Chain A
Amino acid sequence: MKHDFRKLYLLLIFTTFFFGGLFAQTVKIEGKIISNEEEPIYNASVSAVDLRNELVISYAITDSLGNYNLLISPTYDSVKLIVKHIGFRAVSQNARVENKQIDFSLEPSILQLEDIEIKANSLISDSNDTVTYHIDAVKSQNDRVLADILKKLPGIEIESDGRILYQGKPIQKYYIEGLDLLGGRYSLANNNMPTDAVESVQILENHQPIRMLDSLVFSDKASINIKLKDGVSVIGQAKLGAGFSPMLWDVNLTPMLFSKRRQFLATYQTNNIGENIGRQLNRFSIEELSKSQYSKSRKWLNIQPFSPPPFSDRMWLDNRSHLYSLNYLSRIKENIDVRFNANYLNEKIDKEGNAVTVFYTPSDTIRINEIKENNEDTRTLQGELKLEKNTSKKYLLNSLEFEKQWINQTQQLNNSGSFITQIQASPMTSISNDFNYLFPVDKKIINIKSFFSYLNNDQELRVEPGPFDDFLNNGDNYEFASQKLNHEVLYSMGSVNSIYNFNKLLVKPEVGYSFHKQQLSSDLIRSPESQNFQTSDLKNNLVYTYAQAYMQLGLEYKHDYWVFKLTTPLKFTRLDAADKTVERELELERVTFEPKLSISNRLSDKWSIGLSLGRSNNFGNIEQQYMGYILRGYRSLQRNSSDFQERLNHNIGASIDFKEPLKAFFASLNYYSSFTANNLVFSQIIGNQGETELISIDLDNNSSSHNLNLNLSKFISQLNSTLSFKVALSRIESQQIIGGNFADIGNDNIILNPSLYIDLASWAVTEYESTFSRLTNSVNNENQARVWQQMHKLRLIFFIGNAQFLEMSGEYFKNDFAGNRDNYLLNLGYTYPISKKRIDLKFSWTNILNAGSFTSVYNNEFSYYSNTYILRPSQVVFHINFGIN
């Protein structure tokens, strides 16, 4: 060891002499910088400055032992050495330039640099969390509507469906002049407002729309505010499109008017090219999703429906649609806004096709062939009146919504040679009120929520000739059956919550209730009236009441890489179903505890795991409680005179993820299992014509489901492509009574999904995806049938010149059920912008091969369902879009 040191020392001396000789012109000043407490000072600078102009000639930074090493050119006779460190008072000393050692000792100082701000000019003015972009600086010749400019602003992106993202996240509010006119339907303004009308765009970062929570509850969401140029402006945009064959149209007219305290936007749109304009009424905000479940009508009666094909509406939606929308907002006082929105949508949709349904029973196979032609006419009128008071001391929101809907449907049906007409009418009225009130108590904010809704839905179904003649009319033919039904729902919910934070543990107590009362009355009228059937069996007069109160504590704990979450709701539920006609009343009271636990951990940068456990109770719904028969469709006569369904579900889920981005390899494996104990068995009694009766029997039984998913993906650099592969396996086991026998039903699905994406060149990309699936059903472990399906999709996009593009897509579907059908589809689209004139020309050719129909197959526990849908013919549409100011 000692020997080694000597060697090293010799080497050191040698090198020093060697380099010293080589760079004789450089002088070295070295030394040590210590504090007055003799601690070495690290990261101090020692500068040698020119005595004449104080410019730095040479410098050194001290190491962790406080040593420095300064090399100075001997052209200088003497220099000033300045030693500085941010935590110490600077010292300086003049020194002759010669090889020597100079040590310094520094005294600590609470040195305070003055705040320095360097003013800079910018397009962007930034105050607090608001960034303002002055549009004139950004605008170019090509920009026609606001969306064109928004896209260019840093951090803003607009998705193809119109949703606006800021820093990759959806925006929260879209204000025009500080007012929220459209409440989430902002595409109407964004895509139609000419740029000339806009002064600036403000991005409100970390915007908390509820002023009271501002600075208390942190918001990480951004909102956008559009500032218009002075004065009232009438602005808008128009689009015209036409094509063949038959005669096609597509029209959009959107005028707008904005003033400081009043805003107005209207639109009229109509088309028959398969464009689903009703979708525009969807909101991008997610606020009121869960509340609406009881203010939407339930489909009691149905003509035989169609399953839409799994591709673009433009291929199959045979529509004549009209959309009117009127939006008005007025700021009646400071901080109080009143908003009114009204929409009217009329959609006439024709559907044509045929369906094959096969029921497998232990003893028999029943096959139903139906050729169907539907004419649907839906008219929807919606209105919303919203009042919002938003001050720093109080937040109050009340929103009243109204909806009226008329659905009229006619179906001509051929079931293996028998012709049936079904006519359905279902007028519906609903009204709902949403209330949210926040007020402070001892620095904690109490949040009160309440929601109320009322629904009245009449439904009528007329079936000609009269169905179920054996059952309903002693085997004699009769002219028609008319099922009348009225469903009324009164729903209310409320909750109070607050939130507490104890270091790593977060606690959120909440109490609340949920209540609904539903009334179902129905009658089945046969014409001519039959004398031989007990009429009470065909009537319902059901009152179904559900009341639930709950209290829960939410807990979340984080430690290192672990996250534990637990919610512990304790629920008291009371159910009551009574029918005066049959003098039957059922009651149920249960106290349930429904905890949920989830644990996750990131094991390393590459691996992560998760585990979840849960338990829940379910007490069925009104559809399992009606005791008189209802003719729900021409071959579905149902009643359900059972006890309350009680289901207790336990579930477990686990996941493992692996990723190695450096090699672009990703893998994930998920498993989910669910076990349900059920007190009822539902029995499907299937008649000769395929008519079914669903009844339930009190019999404890179990069902379970198991799902396994594997996803793999790998980037292959040499081929500029990504290859991915997905496998999904699922098994569902349940018990059913089929044809009078208790049977174990098994359902196995295997889906394989390889896909390939290739970046061909800077001007072209291609995408290929295929799906192979095998669906197997078994009854008492005996396989009934297998269905193989495969789907292949190929898409090619070419980018031409400045902003033109050409898209080609082809699809192939095949299944080996119901006659082994092949389906080929081919589409073409081309866009050419004339940028200077703010006009876009578009050309699209759909269904080039003129494929007539599309067949898809579905299965459930005991039946297969194959559905053939008549597509739109091969069609060509030209579009021209332009702005109006």
Chain B
Amino acid sequence: MKIILITFLSLLFFNSVSWSQESVNYIIYYNLSYQYDSTNDKSHNEKMALYVYNNYSYFSSYNHILGDSVQRMIEKNFDPNSGELDLTKYDIPRTNFPFRIIKSPEQIRVYHEHLAIYRYLEDPSSFCWEIQNETITINGLKCQKALVTHGGRNYTAWFTTDIPINSGPYIFTGLPGLIVKIHDDRDHYNFTLLEIKKSTKDLPIEEPQSFQEITKAEFLKMMNDYRRNPIIHIKQYANINLSPEDIRRIKEREKRKNNPIELTAN
């Protein structure tokens, strides 16, 4: 079942066209520690990457970026033992955070892969950052505190003017320096800087060319529908007999994912 869904998504993305050949300046890795079940303290970790270009930045799960490069590799250099291109044979890295976000000072384009690719827009000017007087030092970087409310969560960010990159993890952008750490007040989503690397090679970013434009409210409703009836949605894609264990596992997994990063549309 997974295979089918993954393949399906891969196919969707396969046709995306390289958005920019402009070479990246820096790749910044964050660790996202998140608790997708608000009733369970267990947190999950995933590596995230922020690609910084001169005038925009691209954020997504590192697995997504790996997945894209896997697809490029497949396109270029697919299995020499078969003449066929069979995507089901490939293990495309997966993520629990299927966002791809392109941020410029005027616009934030949020792509989300869920059975298809959807796009909604966020307005960077809607972030009303409140700069605070507190500072901490993280790994030698002097960071200043800023507060913002977004998507129903109150976030605390620590940014540093030492690194003149006006961006950060997820949709967050628009502070006068790099966001080193940002988390919501319940610590359900916590992004922490892992690493900053100078880029040595061209890393073209693929912006989907084919997607459905929806509003953020529609997006939230759709994800909520899915969480409520995951088996039903999966069955629509592949009419397979799921064992009670499978059904239980999927239902529980989706039920546990009761804590999405975006709780409200504004």
Contacts and interface: CB of A to CB of B under 8 A. Distances in A.
Interface in A105-134: 111-113, 115-118, 120, 122, 124
A661 interface: yes
Interface string B166-187: 1000000011110000000000
A586 interface: no
A506 B117 contact: no
Interface stretch (A232-240, A451-459, A755-763): A755-763
A418 interface: no
Contacts of B248: 797, 799, 805
Given A115-B196, A116-B196, A501-B77, A61 B166 contact: yes
Given A47-B161, A58-B131, A662 B239 contact: no
Contacts of A508: 80, 83
B131 A117 contact: no
A882 interface: no
Interface in B150-171: 161, 163-166
Given A47-B161, A605-B212, A86 B78 contact: no
Contact of B214 (A47, A218, A222, A662): A662
Contacts of A154: 44-45
B118 interface: yes
A605 B197 CA distance: 35
Contacts of A717: 225
B44 to A, nearest CB: 7
A146 interface: no
B236 to A, nearest CB: 5
Contacts of B78: 506
Given A86-B165, A220-B70, A561 B15 contact: yes
Interface in B64-123: 70, 73-78, 80-81, 83-85, 90-94, 104-106, 114-118
B237 interface: yes
B177 to A, nearest CB: 7
A605 to B, nearest CB: 4
A554 B231 contact: no
Given A63-B105, A556-B85, A605-B210, A86 B232 contact: no
A166 interface: yes
Contacts of A169: 2-3, 6, 90-92
A117 B192 CA distance: 11
Given A160-B245, A205-B93, A561-B15, A447 B236 contact: no
Interface in B177-211: 177, 192-198, 210-211
Contact of A762 (B85, B164, B251): B251
Contact of A605 (B80, B117, B249): B117
A724 interface: yes
A722 interface: yes
Contact of A664 (B31, B83, B233): B233
Contact of A662 (B25, B45, B76, B116): B116
B94 A167 contact: yes
B235 A757 contact: yes
State the majority secondary structure of interface residues on B: mixed
A462 B176 CA distance: 92
A90 B163 CA distance: 11
A84 interface: yes
B176 A168 contact: no
Given A115-B196, A762-B255, A715 B231 contact: no
Interface residues of B, number: 91
Contact of B195 (A62, A115, A722): A115
Contacts of B196: 113, 115-117
B5 A168 contact: yes
A401 interface: no
B39 interface: no
Interface in A473-530: 497-499, 501, 506, 508
Interface in A51-77: 55-59, 61-64
A715 B161 contact: no
Contacts of A722: 229, 232-233, 235-236
Contacts of B52: 86
Contact of A120 (B25, B31, B70, B228): B31
Interface string A715-755: 10100111010000000000000000000000000000001
Contacts of B264: none
A220 B90 contact: yes
Contacts of A497: 80-81
A115 B174 CA distance: 23
B231 A59 contact: no
A59 B15 CA distance: 40
B55 interface: yes
Nearest to A122: B45
Contact of A168 (B6, B77, B118, B166): B6
Nearest to A157: B2
A86 B3 contact: no
B144 A56 contact: yes
A567 interface: yes
A270 B31 CA distance: 50
B154 to A, nearest CB: 20
B243 interface: yes
Contacts of A218: 70, 73, 77
A159 B246 contact: yes
B239 A807 contact: no
A166 B92 CA distance: 10
Contacts of B70: 218, 220
B231 to A, nearest CB: 6
B100 to A, nearest CB: 15
Interface string A86-99: 11001000000000
Given A42-B105, A168-B2, A602-B15, A47 B176 contact: yes
A664 B91 contact: no
Contacts of A571: none
A56 B138 contact: no
A78 interface: no
Interface in A147-191: 154-155, 157, 159-160, 165-170
A43 interface: yes
Nearest to A724: B239
Contacts of B75: 558
B139 interface: yes
A666 interface: yes
A762 B248 CA distance: 9
Interface in A16-66: 42-43, 45-47, 49, 55-59, 61-64
B144 A713 contact: no
A221 interface: yes
Contacts of B56: 43
Nearest to A769: B239
A717 B221 CA distance: 11
Given A220-B90, A713-B236, A567 B83 contact: yes
B177 A45 contact: yes
B164 A85 contact: yes
B236 A664 contact: yes
Contacts of A112: 198
Contacts of B198: 112-113, 115
B139 A118 contact: yes
Contacts of B81: 447, 497
Contacts of A799: 244, 248, 251
28 contacts: A43-B104, A45-B177, A56-B144, A56-B161, A58-B131, A61-B166, A61-B176, A63-B105, A84-B161, A86-B54, A111-B164, A115-B198, A160-B245, A167-B93, A167-B94, A169-B92, A220-B90, A498-B80, A565-B85, A605-B116, A661-B116, A662-B212, A662-B218, A713-B235, A722-B233, A757-B232, A799-B248, A807-B244
Given A167-B93, A168-B94, A602-B15, 12 more contacts: A43-B55, A43-B56, A45-B164, A64-B106, A90-B164, A157-B2, A217-B80, A220-B74, A602-B210, A605-B116, A605-B117, A722-B236
Nearest 7 CB-CB pairs, A to B?
A169-B91, A45-B176, A84-B164, A168-B2, A554-B83, A59-B176, A661-B116
